Amino acid sequence: MQAAPRLATSREATLLRSLIVAGGLGWSLAFVVIAPIYELQLYADGSMFSYAVAVQDVWAFHWHNVANRMSVFFLSLWPAETYVGLTGRPHDGIVVYGLLFNAAPLIGLAWTFIADRSRNRAIFGFACGSTALLCPLVFGFPTEMWMAHALFWPTLALAHYARQSVPGAAVLSVAMAALALTHPGGLVLACVIVATLALHGRHHPLFARGAIVSLGTIALWAAVNVAYPPDDYFADVLVRAGFSFFDPAIFQVNIVILLAVVITGYGLLFLALSRIMAAETALFAATAAAAVALLIYWLQFNGWVHASNRYYLRTLLVAITPVFGVLAAFHAIRSGAGSPLFLRLSKIAECLGSAAAIRASIGAVVLVTAIHVVQTAKFVTHWTAYKAAVRALALGSASDPALGDPRFVSSQRISPELNQLSWFSTVEYLSIIVSDFKPGRIVVDPAGNYFWLSCETATENAKAVRAVPASARDLVRVYSCLHR
């Protein structure tokens, strides 16, 4: 009589894992396809990064200020800039940048699959879950935490399963250094990896190796910060950004509220229905009811687009990825013969592995995925229309000389609905790119209060020989010299 529940749980656990793996791989492939089709590498800060690639000055324009994020520079921006230098095709270089950046999750999952030698590839499974549930929240914004998340999972697998030899330690050192040099949050994730190694025991060789590697990584990170300090203008920006990184207001946004309400409502309904009907029926009924409620909401009340908050929700990658990582390491160690089983994590794992939790998780994954799909579709649709509006202004005859030059036009001429997709500090670069580097005007946000380039840097680039026409670069020079 006891075998049936265990069999059902095993079957449903297999279904849940299949959903999660399919979700992780599916989203990773979607990122690579959707991003270039809709030119998401141009969204928000991506416009400035893409322009810097096109004019072959990524390091001088910005990355010298964030040298402790040089992994992103070397893995996506530098190859794209090199491509422009070799071919003289700035637009294609921007495409290369977008492809490399947005392929990071797929490459990270592939590397994790190879490095993970736990039973049933537990780390790979959790990596897929983290990718499917978290990455769509920030997809489209070029946050360096995107790359940190992609590197966290193979580094975690290497920390636990790389051979205990000099080559193994070397590979782990490179991976951990690359992770730490993506974003300050990447350094946090590197420390989390070392903490998971303590599950083997504080005297275990893996923990000792990880601690030594992490100390070297921290030393490297500190050395880079000392060698390449940000300039005075950007240093102040970094300080303000650091203080606001964990601002509670970040989580008081539509997408987070929607996810919280849907999952909470679904969970309560599932628990109530599971008391009066079969588990499979309760799962289907609760999921269907939540889906219908979502559909009504989208059709009747949903007038917002998840756009600018994609940047701020990078905080969730720092906050939640470690939770997935610790659970992944625990499951990987627990499945190994003779590995220790820790009481607290065992109780958590027992609760999460119960039949009720697994069944509830199946519906939750389906609902979260549906929300991500709809919000992504809305985002790319509005983004396409917004780019067209910016291009029309850049190639049109409208002008707002009060902004500092007759060749400037205000972004406020765009409708408020589409301006949900605006980013106050980069619209001028976007206007140059979408007009094929031949704008009659550059679009300027009158409310902009952050200016990427100093007059000196912009002037040097305007005078240099580049694939981008000098007239476009001179517009950037004029704009920059008005403000810095």
Same domain flag for 391 and 339: no
- What residues of the chain score a pLDDT lower than 50? 1-8, 336-341
Number of domains comprising the chain: 2
Mark which of 365, 382, 399 sits at the end of a domain: 382
| Range of the structural domain that residue 464 is part of | 384-483
Same domain flag for 347 and 425: no
Same domain flag for 342 and 353: yes
Mark which of 382, 401, 428 sits at the end of a domain: 382
Mark which of 382, 412, 432 sits at the end of a domain: 382
Displacement of CA 415 from its chain's centroid (Å):
28
Same domain flag for 243 and 392: no
Residue 32 lies in a domain: yes
Same domain flag for 64 and 161: yes
Which residues contact residue 460 at a Cβ distance below 8 angstroms, ignoring those fewer than 6 apart? 60
> Buried b vs exposed e over 444-480: b needs ≥16 C-beta within 10 Å?
bbeebeebbbbbebbbebbeeebbbeeebbbbbbbbb
Residue 179 lies in a domain: yes
pTM (predicted TM-score): 0.94
Residue 144 lies in a domain: yes
- pLDDT score at 5: 42
Same domain flag for 462 and 313: no
Residue 396 lies in a domain: yes
Same domain flag for 189 and 80: yes
- Of 111, 46, 39, the C-alpha closest to 76 is 46
Q: Return the residue matching tokens 């928000």.
A: 44
Q: Return the residue matching tokens 């959790």.
A: 126
- pLDDT score at 2: 40
Residue 456 lies in a domain: yes
Same domain flag for 396 and 367: no
- pLDDT score at 280: 86
Q: Return the residue matching tokens 């530098």.
A: 78
Same domain flag for 197 and 219: yes
Residue 113 lies in a domain: yes
Q: Return the residue matching tokens 């599932």.
A: 270
Same domain flag for 169 and 91: yes
Same domain flag for 438 and 315: no
- pLDDT score at 345: 63
Residue 453 lies in a domain: yes
Residue 272 lies in a domain: no
Same domain flag for 389 and 378: no
- pLDDT score at 119: 86
